[in-house]
Amino acid sequence: MREIEFRRFSTEPRRPDERETWLQFLIDGVSFLDLVREAELPDALAEQKERSEEFPTEPAPLLAGDYANSTRLSAGHLLGEAPDRVPHGAEDDEYLLLGCACGIEECWALVAKIAADEDSVTWSDLRNTYRDWNYDAMGVLTFSRRQYERALRAAFGS
């Protein structure tokens, strides 16, 4: 089983009502975003090459890992209970993990199915809601439920 850590960060607000908190996930001590970037790289490079041939005068951005850590995700959402929200292009049984780097999480999202039973929590079927990229290299991520809930309590303070 894998080990997960949730780290919460808050932005410095320009106004008191603008403070946002976001979560960073670490899987076995490695940033989840870095793991996603590595899995997406082959498809992103192929797309970049195709776009540069089609539009040779325009630089094609490398989109692998072009996400922001999500804001406003609850512990219940991360345990596979009712999703906090379902981004555009996601199915009802998919949960938002990472949102678009533009700041609008629903614009381009990484989603997964989250299933929890008595002993484990599993993230499976990772997918980008906008591109048909392959995440087989990441496999199914299975965590001890006890360790997962401890990590959630540490991040959410409950």
Q: What is the pLDDT of residue 12?
A: 65
- Average confidence score pLDDT of the chain: 88
Residue 15 has pLDDT above 80, yes or no: no
How much of the chain is helix, strand and coil, in % rounded to 5? 30, 30, 40
pLDDT tens digits, one per residue of 81-116:
988 877 888 888 999 999 888 877 667 899 999 999
Least confident window among 3-12, 17-26, 61-70:
17-26
- What pTM was computed for the model? 0.87
Q: Structural domain boundaries of the chain?
A: 4-12+19-156
Exposure string (b/e) for 48-62, b if CB count within 10 Å is 16 or more?
beeeeeeeeeeebee
